[in-house]
Structure formats: structure tokens, C-alpha cells
Amino acid sequence: MKLQKLLSLTRKAIDEFQMIQPGDKIAVGISGGKDSLTLLYALSALRRFYPAPFSIEAITVNLGFEGFHLEPIKALCQELDVPYTIVETEIGNIIFKERKEENPCSLCAKMRKGAFNEKAKELGCNKLAYAHHKDDVVETLLMSLILEGRIHTFSPVTYLDRMDLTLIRPLIYVDEADVKGFMNLYHLPIAKNPCPADGFTQREYAKDLIVQLSHEHPGTKERMFTAILNSELPAWKVRVPKKQRTKSVISSVPTT
């Protein structure tokens, strides 16, 4: 996937769900993986032509695992002219060595988000950007059905009233396969996740199940995503009709 397509899909999500308003300062969560670096690239480029002026801050919450090298990401942020902050924590040590959690992901996510939100507020940000893509949307729906018995997935836009922050997910129209293509084409400096639980989560189970379903019934993922768009889920019903959106200037995006 080239930058032109990435920006087109990102712009579509931002316009449809009114994710960005003039003067926004957006904290972009950088895990070091392909998804967050793709989001960083997209929002960095979008700053140059989006009708509503906004700025971004890149933030990484370092969990304290050995072997997590962030120098290449620092260099990328410098190249993209994006301020970059690393929040040093002992979250990994607390969860795996002190508490020895059997199911570490939930607590880790809560602590990681807390550290990220606090730093975003400290830096004067009013919005947060997560790199969840289309596959994440569908996988979350499937997990909710199987594990919780409810029809639910995360929202394109969520207001966090306790922190007075708004969370946006600009990559919801981007397929994971396209993210992988973008990563390879633009040689993103991935920082491998050294977490011991990486690859052994319920989300990995849902991901594998959707692959199997899509193999047996081609188009499964797209139909599930369309069902979400057409659902009665409140946060997904607020899409703005195209004629009411900010006039598009996507044609001015570089084609490289």
C-alpha cells in the first residue's frame, strides 16, 4: 500500500466520524509495531493539507523489558518532524515478576493506558490516537460474541470523561494486510515487542478464527465489518454524509 491509499482511507475515517477539529493536539500511541508506526506516518503527512489544522505528539510507554530498542523510532520521528516522548516504567517487572499475573494482558493494558493518558495531558494534548485497524474492529466483535455474549466492538471516537480526553481510531478502514504492505514498502523501523505474552492472547485466537472462516467463506471479514457499519451500535451510527463533510483535498497528497 502506498501513502496515497493510506491517507485516503485515513481521511475517510476522520471525515466520516469527525475525529479532528481545528487546533487539536493529538497524542499518538507508539508501541513500536507496524500499526502504530503506520498511524504516525499517516497523521504526520495529513497535517500538511487537512483543512482543520492540528498537531501531533508521539508517545511510547516503555514497559521496561530488555531488548526494546527505540533509537530507530526516535530517528523516524525526527525525520517526520514529530516530537517524541518515551515514558519509562516498570510495568513489565510489576506484572510478570512481582505479581506474576496468570492473565497479564488486562492489567498491563490498564497500566499502560494510564501512563500514556497522563503523559498526553502533561504535554497539553486533548486527543489520543490509537492504531486499531479494520481487522482489530472485526476481531473485537468476534471476541465479544464468543467470550462475553454481547454484540460489541470499540468505537471510532470515545470520550474519556475522567481524563477529559477524546480517543480516536483513524485506521478503522485500513486492512491489516495493507498495513503490512505499507511497512514493507516504506521500511518502517519496527521495534519488536519483547513481552512474554505476545502471540498467546485471545485476540490471536480470534484472528486465527477469522482467517479460517474467510478461507471457508470468502468475504467473511468484509461482511462482518459492513454489519458493524450498518448496526445499531451508537458510536457507529454517527457517520457524517459525504456532502456534509469538509471539502476533500486528497488530490494534493503526494503519490510517492
Q: 227-241: per-residue pLDDT in tens?
A: 999 988 888 988 887
Mean pLDDT of all residues in 50-55: 97
Least confident of 7-16, 28-37, 139-148, 197-206: 197-206
The pTM of this model reads 0.90
Q: Are 76 and 38 in contact (CB under 8 A)?
A: no
The SS3 of residue 119 is: helix
Which has the minimum average pLDDT: 3-12, 88-97, 173-182, 215-224? 88-97
pLDDT averaged over every residue in the chain: 90
| % of the chain surpassing 90 pLDDT | 73
Answer yes or no: is pLDDT of 248 > 70.
no
The confidence band for 254, taking pLDDT boundaries of 50, 70 and 90, is very low
> Which of the pair, 9 or 246, is modelled with greater confidence?
9
Q: What is the pLDDT of residue 245?
A: 65
User: Exposure pattern of 45-71 as b/e (b: 16+ CB <10 Å)?
Assistant: bbbeebeeebebbbbbbbbbeeebebe
CA-angle at 226, arms to 224 and 138, nearest 5°:
40
Per-residue pLDDT for 33 more than 90?
yes
User: Would you place residue 213 in the very low, low, confident or very high pLDDT band (cuts 50, 70, 90)?
Assistant: very high
Query: What domains can be seen in the chain, in order of their start residue?
Result: 3-251 (3.40.50.620)
Q: What is the mean pLDDT of residues 93-118?
A: 85
State residue 250's pLDDT score: 40
**40 confidence band (pLDDT: 50, 70, 90):** very high
- Angle, to 10 degrees, between the axis of helix 134-143 and the axis of helix 176-186? 140
Averaged pLDDT, 201-210: 87
Coil, strand, or helix at residue 171? coil
Mean per-residue pLDDT for 5-15? 97
pLDDT at 219 over 90: yes
Mind listing the pLDDT tens digit for each residue in 154-192?
A: 999 999 999 999 999 999 999 999 999 999 999 999 998
Q: Which of 120-124, 196-200, 206-210 is predicted with the least confidence, judged by mean pLDDT? A: 196-200
24, containing H or E segment: strand 24-29
